[in-house]
Amino acid sequence: MVDLLEFEGKNLFKSYGIAIPSGKLIHSASDFNDFKEEHVIKAQVPTGHRGVNGGVVKFKNKEEFLSAFNKISSLTFNGFKPTYFLIEEAVNHYRELYVALTLDRNNKAPALLISSEGGVDIEKIPKIKIESLNLDVFVGMLDYVKRQAFKFVGLDDKYKAQFYGILDSMWKLFTDKDAELVEINPLAVTDHGLIALDSKISIEDDSLFRHSEYKRDEYSPDELEMKAKKKEISFVKLDGNIGLIANGAGLTLATIDQIKLAGGTAGDFLDLGGTDDPARVAEAIELVKDSNPKVLFINIFGGVTKADTVAEGIVQAIKKLNITFKIVVRLKGFNEEKGKELLRKNGIDAFTDMDAAIKEVVNLSNYGDSN
């Protein structure tokens, strides 16, 4: 999932007819010198809770602006350090609403979420004040849904046409861009209309071949995850001390659960997929090595994956890299005996039974080499 920066989301809002404040994107303090009106400076990072963490500050003059810029530019937000800053006019408003389109995975349908209260603490709003309306992906934002939403937020009738238009625009944006989330929080109610004061848009990873302009490898807060993305390897760093490589997301998740049940904790999620390319296997091991595990567990269940060529990749990696941790491998599938023989010749524990392999892995992670 790719989270767009606020200014990118607002540019999309504007192109779809949703009103936004006038603003300017800057990189340094010298890029802004208009102090005729009150403005707000916002750190541009692909994560939430910027307001409560000091990433959104109002200012009225140059001195306040410089103070705010210097403070915000020194902060880190969930691992992201801002390099872009959005300066916008401060919009006078008397109400804040919450409006979002997302996926309701339980009902397998898009959902419209609305609340008569919006802002920085939307998570703290009681569920009774948030309405969820499921939509049919084939028919979209029907009139009765818009009527229900408008009634729920309790706006004056003078805002009806604009509110309906915003919902239509959000739906079109949601479907056009293959989004998982299109959120306006808050949607400001002013004397002159409705204005989106913030944007949050998340694009589905699997659709990026249609939206390559939104690829955001450079925004990953973790260097290893960024490196893995560039190599097109599914890697997520976790908190444990057991490095894990498995083939297939389902097997990887099941292995993480089994490790936990046995008393250990995985240090990463690395899905090798269906490849048995030895060079690819060696790349995966190099990634896990950089996360400094105490022990590495490689769990391969063969289908299209050949066990012996995976073993070749493992041997290549230990010969190329300075491996200081123990490696335990579970091989099951085509050419498994040939693969296990190759591993054993190179000093690597090889198992067929998953429970036995995990028991050895957790033992090594907790107590060190059992031999």
Q: Catalytic residue numbers?
A: 98, 183
- Output the CA–CA distances (angstroms, integers) from residue 270 to 75, 234, 237, 284, 312, in the order listed: 30, 6, 9, 8, 19
Question: What are the structure tokens assigned to 72, written together?
Answer: 């915000």
Alpha helices in the chain (DSSP H): 6-15, 62-73, 143-153, 160-176, 223-230, 249-261, 278-290, 307-320, 336-345, 354-367
Running DSSP on this structure, what letter comes out for residue 322?
-
Running DSSP on this structure, what letter comes out for residue 229?
H
Residue the block writes with tokens 């989301």: 9
Burial (CB < 10 A; 0-12, 13-18, 19+), residue 137, is exposed
Amino acid at the residue 88 = E
Distance CA 192, CA 194 (A): 7
Diameter over CA atoms, the chain: 79
Distance CA 312, CA 336 (A): 12
Amino acid at the residue 57 = V
Residue 266's contacts (CB-CB under 8 Å, 6 or more residues apart) are 238, 240, 242, 243, 244, 255, 256, 259, 260
